[in-house]
Amino acid sequence: MPETIALHPAAPWVELKSTEADWAAADPALLKELLAQMALIRAFEEKVLELAGEGLVHGPAHSSIGQEGGAAGSIVGLRPTDQVNGSHRGHHQFLAKALAYVAPGLDPTAPLSDDTHALLHRSLAEILGLEPGFGHGRGGSMHLRWGEAGAIGTNAIVGGGVPLAAGAAFAHKRAGTGDVAISYFGDGAVNIGAVLETMNLAAAWDLPLLFFIENNGYAVATTVEEATRETRLSGRGTGFGIPSWKVDGMDPLAVHLATQEALKIMRAGKGPAVIEADVYRYFHQNGALPGSAFGYRTKEEEASWRARDPIKRTGAALVARGVLKQDDLDALTERAQAAMADAAAQIVETVGNKRRVMPGMWPDVSFVDEGIRGDLSELSGKRAEEEATYRGRLAERKFVDAIADVLHRRFETDERFVIMGEDIHKLKGGTNGATRGLAAAFPDRCLGTPISEGAFAGLAGGIAMDRRYRPIIEFMYPDFMWVAADPVFNQIGKARHMFGADVPVPLVLRTKIAMGTGYGSQHSLDPAGVFATSPGWRIVAPSTPFDYVGLMNAALTCEDPVLVIEHVDLYQTSGAIPDGDLDYIIPFGKAKVVRPGAELTILTYSAMVHRSREAVEELGLDAEIIDLRSLDRAGLDWDTIGESIRKTNNVLIVEQGSLSTSYGGFLADEIQRRYLDWLDQPVQRVTGKIASPTISKVLERAAFAGKEEVIAGLAVTMAAKGTPLPGMPGAAL
C-alpha cells in the first residue's frame, strides 16, 4: 500500500463570526458611521430603481440593495489613500469609499454636509448619463470612478477590474506607502481566468490587494452550486497561498473585523488576502423586481434574507446599547430619502404627468469623441531628430541592441519605468535579447511574470492609471493579445474615453512579428490591423534602429497606451544610431519618405519597407516608398501621404500579414475617400493570404508576403495604370 501524507494549505482559511460581545465592545462611532453609510446607500439605490422604473435610467440599474453591509463594513476605516474598484454592481462600494472621503465619521443624527449632497447628485447624474456626473455621463452605472476619493472604477466586464486593482496595489507597494487596494467582485467572477491569474500574480509578488468576493448566491439566475463544486469561494485563496476569511456579509461588524485582520497582513507587506462575504441582492440582476418574479428564487428564501437586513441589525444594536433611539433611526431614513429627492430634483423635471431629464443636463453631443486619446502636449519641447538630418556622429548598431540601449537609457534617467513579461529577466534579455542588461542593472524594475498575459497586462493598465509609475509590457508573440483581449482592448484601450477623458494611460506594449520563423498560426500575426480598430491605442512600427530609438522615446513619454511593433527579421540587421545620444524623439504622425519617386506611391511599414525597396530597385521602377511609422488612425501623416499621391496618382499598400487581419483595408478605404480625384485607379494592395501562416516551411512562405509578392504587386499596379513593366505579365495578385 502506498503511504499517504495529509497536505494542508500554505495559508490560513477561517470563517469569522461576530459575537454579542463584539457588538457590545465595538466603538459607537464605528457603528454609527456604518449605519449612516448604509442608510444613504440604500436611499440612493431606491431612488435609482424609482427613476429606472420611469424609464429615466438608460441601460441597466444593477441595484446593491441588501449588500450594503459588505461595502460599508470593509470600507469604513480605510485610509483616504487606499483604493477600491468593483464590478457592474458597484454603486455601494463607490458610494462607501466616496462618503468616507467627503464625510469621514458620518454621523447618523447630523445634517448632511454640502459635500455629501454634491456627491449624491454627481453619482446619480453619472448613472443617468448626464454631464454633472463624474465621467460626464460616459461611464454610467457600471463605470463609476472618482480617483480623488480612491474609487478607481467599477467595471462592466465580470472580473475585469481585478487585474487593474492589482496594478494599483503594485504602485502602493513600490511607493512604500502602506496603502492597499480592494477589488470587489461576485461569485460569478470567481471562476474567471483573469481573477485566478491575478490571485496567483498578487501572491507571487506580495501585492497588498484584498480580493473581496460578494457571494450573493447567483450569477444572474445561475446558482453557485450549479457553477462550482467548492461553493465556499474563499477556498480559491488557499490554492495560491493567500490568507482567506469567510464572513456573513449581512453582518457589517463581522465584515469590518475580517477586513481589519486582512489589512494588518497587507500593510505589513505580507501580500494579498481574500474575504468572501455571503450577501444577498434583494432584487433581480437588473431592475426593481425580485428574483422570485423570474422563477429562480423562492419568496421564502427572499424573506429569510430580508429578515437579516444589515441596516436593521446595526440600528437595533445601537438602540439596544442606548447610543441611538428609534426616532433617530426613523429620522436618518427620512433624511437620506430627502437628500436623494433633492439630488433627483436637480436632474429631472415634471412635464405633464411624467418626469423627464432636464434637457440642460445632457452632455453636449460634440463631446462624443472627445478624449479618446490625449493631445500629445507631453511631447512638446522634446528634441526631435531624423536620421537624414542628424548632425552628430552616427554608429552602426544592431536593431535588437538599439532596443536594449534605449530601454536602459530610459531606466537610468527615470525611476518610474518598470518592465514586465515572460522571461524578459533571463536568457540574456528575453527570447531575443531586447531587454539585455536590464535585470542586472534594475532587478526590482525588470520583472519576469508568470505565463498570464491577462493578469500582467491588466496589472500594467492599473499601474498606468495610477500614474506614479510607467509600465512597459512585452507579449512574446502578438497573438497573445487574444489571451489578454479584455485588459488590452476593453480596459486599457477604452479607459481614458470611458471615464470622461481625464484618465491618462501611459503604457507601452512591445511585441514582435515572427513570420518565417516556423512558429505557425498562433505565433505569426501582424497585430497592426487588429489594434487599429481600437481607437485608444497608438501604434508605431519602426523599420530602422534610429527610428526605433526615437519612436520608443516618444512612446515612453506619451500619456496614451502605445503598441510598439518589432519584427524578428529586423533584430539582427544593423543601422546607424547616434553615438552616445539616446534622448531624441521621433514625433507620432510623421511618416518618412525612404525613396523618392514619381510613378507610384508605396505605403508600408516595418520589415516590408526593406522588402519594398529591394523589389523597386530590382525592377528599376520610379516609385516613392513611404515608411508610415505611425499606424493608428490618429497618427497617419496625411500631409506626406497626400503630397505623394497628388504627384504619382497611383498607390500600392504593402504589408506582410494575412488578408484577414489586414491593416491596409481601412487605409485603402480612407485614401480613396480623401484622394479619389487624384487616383488613376483604385488603391492596390499586397498582403499575405487569407489564412495565417502554418508550420510547413513551404506553406508558411506561401501564406505571407515577401519581396516576390511585392514584385508581383508592382507589376499588377503598373499594368492596371496602363504602363506595364517590361518583361512582367501583370498577373492578378
Residues serving a catalytic function are 453, 523
Written as nine digits, the cell of 263 is: 489589512
Mapped to the 3 state alphabet, what secondary structure does 459-498 carry? Answer: HHHHHHHHCCCEEEEEECCHHHHCCCHHHHHHHHCCHHHH
* Cβ–Cβ < 8 Å for 124, 48: yes
* Cβ–Cβ < 8 Å for 592, 687: no
Of 474, 471, 468, the closest CA to residue 435 belongs to 474
- Residue type at position 138: R
Distance CA 456, CA 484 (A): 9
3-state DSSP call for residue 289?
A: coil
Distance CA 495, CA 465 (A): 9
Q: Which stretch of DSSP H or E encloses residue 85?
A: strand 83-85
Written as nine digits, the cell of 691 is: 489564412
Distance CA 440, CA 425 (A): 8
* Cβ–Cβ < 8 Å for 105, 78: no
**DSSP result, 427-446:** TTTTTTTTTTTHHHH-TTTE
Of 60, 56, 609, 615, the closest CA to residue 343 belongs to 56
Written as nine digits, the cell of 235 is: 477556498
Tell the residue number behind the cell numbers 497587507, with chain if given: 266
Distance CA 582, CA 274 (A): 45
Tell the residue number behind the cell numbers 477590474, with chain if given: 161
Distance CA 661, CA 680 (A): 27
* DSSP class of 524: -
* Cβ–Cβ < 8 Å for 334, 327: no
* Burial call 117-135: b when 16+ CB within 10 Å, e when fewer: bebbbbbbbbbbbbebbbb
